[in-house]
Amino acid sequence: MDMYTTVLVVVVAIAAIAVAIYAARKGRKTKGVDSMPPTTEEARLEDRFARGEISESEYRRNLEELKERRQKNT
């Protein structure tokens, strides 16, 4: 290999490593946002429905109960 080919291989290798590090850091940041717990009862209920823990009918029934409970408290 001549000198220019060696330099090109080194530059490409460094660029590949930099892209891999950037992608790993970006992926780690987005995971943190998604794993945050919901803050309200409605959000927790919606989260359980989205994960498939409860059916649509259970979701709607529980949501109505939450709304009724809130109206009684105001």
What span, in angstroms and rounded, lies between the C-alpha atoms of 63 and 69? Answer: 10
Q: Are residues 47 and 15 in the same domain?
A: no
For the chain, give percent helix, strand, coil, nearest 5.
Answer: 80, 0, 20
Q: What is the pLDDT of residue 27?
A: 66
Q: What is the pLDDT of residue 67?
A: 87
What span, in angstroms and rounded, lies between the C-alpha atoms of 56 and 43? Answer: 15
What span, in angstroms and rounded, lies between the C-alpha atoms of 60 and 41? Answer: 13
Domain count, the chain: 2
Range of the domain at 12: 1-36
Q: Are residues 60 and 29 in the same domain?
A: no
Of residues 70 and 64, the one with the higher pLDDT is 64
Tens digit of each residue's pLDDT (9 = 90 or more) over 14-68: 999 999 888 887 765 555 545 556 568 888 999 899 999 999 999 999 999 988 8
Residue closest to 68 by CA, chosen among 41, 47, 44? 41
What span, in angstroms and rounded, lies between the C-alpha atoms of 45 and 62? Answer: 8
Q: Are residues 31 and 43 in the same domain?
A: no
Residues in the chain: 74
